[in-house]
Amino acid sequence: MPRAKKAAVQSNATRQVNIYGIDGKVKGSAPLPSVFSTPFRPDIIRRAVVSAQANRRQRYGPSKVAGMRHSVATWGKGRGTSRVQRLKAGRNAAQSPNNVGGRRAHPPRPEHYFTKRINDKERKLAIASALAATSMPEIVRSRGHRFDEGVTLPVVVDDAAEALNKTKEVESFLNSLGLGADLRRSVDGSHVKAGRGKMRGRRYRVPSSILVVATSGSPVITGARNLPGVSATSPKGLNAEYLAPGGDPGRLVVISKKALDSLGGA
């Protein structure tokens, strides 16, 4: 794949964003913290996401005696039949990989090492760069998110929004901010997966929608998580996967003023 080009990043050190109230109207403005001035590094962001996904993988493999729990022997040549291992108590072929019920030829090995390491400085840079990407409308739109014209990114809301605890209240609030189209995009894009994944606890594919960031313990975190495609976390819980699902930066973020101030220059 061709190497991703670094996007030109406008300095956000003195950039002002609107602060929206519960009714969706602008209540004031606030400067973005210095972390939003981090250079855009899509390569480091994807590396951090791939590392996190790889480190969650669990080792798996068959039993060492799978397909070999019986006594077999070969008839040898001269009988006009193939020289394969057969059950001693019958004529059925067994044990060999080319026989029904036999062992696998090249099974997955439990000792396989899935972990992909990443330097701590790279991981922190990925989070800061992914945060900066959430303030760039062109990057957020290119990721597929939909929001009304004139909405400043990230969407900073008044601290009173943290008290919303019902899913209907959170949905109505996000609609008043001009983000309803993105919620509908996630609902309309949900579908049943093809293949065996739908039999293993991953039946539905739901497009990632809005990320709600509020201070730890806020009721809005619980209420927002019930919306399809919407994630919610605290500033301390932010990571590259939340900010760039699948390794694609530019997620649409709604953050409270208190949570924004706690980010600072981290």
Query: What is the per-residue pLDDT for 89?
Result: 86
- What are 108-121's pLDDT values in tens digits? 999 999 999 999 99
Give the lowest-confidence range in 191-200, 242-251, 253-262: 191-200
Domains: count for the chain:
1
Residue 46 within any structural domain of the chain: no
**Which of 70-74, 126-130, 178-182 comes out lowest in average pLDDT?**
70-74
Which CATH number is 135's domain given? 3.40.1370.10
Pairing of strands 204-205, 211-213: unpaired
CA atoms of 266 and 262, how far apart (whole Å) = 9
Model confidence at 11: pLDDT above 50? no
Q: How confident is the model at residue 2 (pLDDT cuts 50, 70, 90)?
A: very low
Residue 44 CA to residue 121 CA, distance in Å, equals 10
Beta-bridge mates of residue 93: 86
For residue 225, being part of any structural domain is answered with: yes
Asked if the structure places residue 24 within a domain, the reply is yes
Whole-number Å distance between alpha carbons of 218 and 162: 6
Mean pLDDT in residue range 94-109: 93
Query: Contact at 8 Å (CB) between 57 and 183?
Result: no
Among the listed residues 212, 236, 241, 215, the one whose alpha carbon sits nearest the alpha carbon of residue 224? 212
Lowest mean pLDDT among 12-21, 163-172, 244-253: 12-21
**Which structural domain, as residue segments, surrounds residue 143?**
16-38+119-263
Domain assignment present for residue 167? The answer is yes
In a domain, 49, yes or no: no
pLDDT at 21: 96
Q: Tell me: the pLDDT tens digits for 12-67?
A: 446 899 999 999 999 999 999 999 999 999 999 999 999 999 999 999 999 989 99
Strand 72-73 relative to strand 86-87: parallel, antiparallel, unpaired? antiparallel
In a domain, 144, yes or no: yes
Is the dihedral angle over the CA atoms 165, 168, 174, 176 positive or is it negative?
Answer: negative
| 107 occurs within a structural domain | no
Residue 130 lies in a domain: yes
CA distance 174 to 23: 10
